Structure 1
Amino acid sequence: MSLLFSPLSIRDTTIPNRLWVSPMCMYSAEDGVPGDWHHVHLAQFASGGAGLVMSEAAAVSPEGRISPRDAGIWNDAQRDAWAPVVRSIRARGAVAGIQLAHAGRKASTWWPFADASGSVPAPEGGWTTVAPSPVAYEGFAEPQELDADGIAQVVADFRAAARRAVDAGFEVLEVHAAHGYLLHQFLSPLSNLRDDAWGGSLENRARLVLDVVRAVRAEVGEAVPLFVRFSAVDSAPGGLEVDDVATVAGWAADAGADLFDVSASGLVAHQRIEVGPGYQVPYAERVRERTGALTAAVGIITNGRQAEEILAAGSADAVFAGREFLRDPHFALRAAGELGVEPERVWPPQYIRGYRAAAFA
């Protein structure tokens, strides 16, 4: 029996396998509303055998978008536009998840394939960003420091977005506290210079992410699986280290989180990263070891045998892949073939005649 293609039950949801689609921003929404692009883009991964399809980061407020073209879930029109996407994913046998996000000081920027870079000026659709401290990400506009009311509003926005997500039919929610976005900015001493209840000690810097986890759990009840994505390290001197994040993950588990999606870096431009196959897997393993909680591994995972070995070694309980699914939306079907999994267990019946066992030798 392949571990990768065994089910995983979390609270009231059973995910049919453990090869999952990472949230990946497409920068293709208008006014935060997902459209045909998102529908086709996400549903294809379910047809391709993924057990969980996580939507791209959905902003919990207009100012929480990375760019003016980001998807959101801060209003009912967005909720209603997500609903048919969710139905398509579920109809193809996968579980639909959504990542709830606020970009903080990395908001209001040009999308990657725009003809510009850096912060978007107000006359061209940009806005004033917010952060724990008025410290800009290199090359971006200086953010406004959040006061106590602003912090409370962030928590309320995550809570309201979680309600809309569940009402749209999403079965798994993920709080984005990684990659240099707002919750990560509060966690890291490189971006959080506050000396109040939200700054200084690790416990204080973790206060916002824990408040968000508690608020989301309270809103959606006990049945819905709740993930948190963390950057395990800042990859820069004086920044977060994996044991810091493992400590916060333990607190988040106590607050109601079920699984930690462990990535790395993204907070500062001067980070130094050594990239290679599975390079972030040890972080998931360390968080799992320290907390006893479920973790998902990421980081250049490109074939079924590699993913299976990660699970067999006890490094993680599931695997998220991003770019490999972009290269091959049927990555999960290919991985199943590589591992000798019976095609009837994974392949859609409409596709089964395309199965060729010899192709995976």
Structure 2
Amino acid sequence: MNPPTTMPAVAYRTSLPIEDPASLADLELPVPAPGPHDLLIRVEAVAVNPVDYKVRQNADPGGEPRVLGWDAAGTVVAVGEQVRLFAVGDQVYYAGALDRPGTNSRFQAVDERLVGPKPAGLSWAGAAALPLTSLTAWEGLFERLGLRPDAPDQHGTLLVTAAAGGVGAITVQLARALTGLTVIGTASRPETAEFARRMGAHHVIDHRRPLVPQLAELAPEGVDHVFSTTGTDRNLAAYAEVLKPFGRIVAIDDFDSLPLGLLKPKSISFHWEFMFTRSMFRTPDQAEQHRILSEVARLVEAGRITSTATRDLGPVDAANLRAAHRLLESGRAIGKTTLTGFREGTGA
């Protein structure tokens, strides 16, 4: 069956506070045509990430509708002429590209090289919660920090900040499943500390308190690796103190400046992780994200990791997405927040 010509979508036209009802709006938009390497996907569920509200707040589209969203699961309904990895009817999950329309629409065109097979046994929402954070965590651990996947003989200590957040939770799981590292997570509330332990953290410390004395008790010889998901500028001096010589830091958050000179005495290396780099710059190895998502799906199916979805807010519409943005902006979300399906009678 051919897809319809128009579809329900949620977009923003100008940067507004999330309390403003016009900050996100329900629209009817044309269904995109897939390019040569594209899959046209019928979106069944989406997840929300901090990048959604950061783009909404900081990239004003000047009155034109911009569709946000960079996590989804759905079914392939059409393919471009050069597609080789998938076929119509395949169930998939993906994060997509930052410089193309996002997942908050019933249909989306996505380069097949950025897409993985949906993990069997997961709900649509459970699958939609994984792509962006799994890619971030995998690239951060195994490309930026230089760890080896599936190496239980690989020892040392890894610090993961905000270990109950979307990226932190899957980073903890991947590190536990694929390395022999001791994983120390940070959290600030009893419920987030408990979630971080459920994800597999060996130890959880309070990031509202000074990190150095807490880490000195757990890792008196020092920390080997830091996966910094938040507060990198605030915590850099602590990282420099607790890391061993030649240690490594990978960071994913945003800040204006960083005193990297603190890292020189120990020859500590600092690395950025931005999972949109491959798609944004059309690197020759874009298909590496297909491979990573395929491997993550296998790990889920083998029971070695699990989805981090914790809350589903209902169908994809402007009101529910405003609630999701509001929750993430509060800084109190645990795991991943999802939305499933569209209103009956829209964009079938």
TM-score normalised by the chain length of structure 1: 0.28
Q: Which has the higher helix share?
A: 1
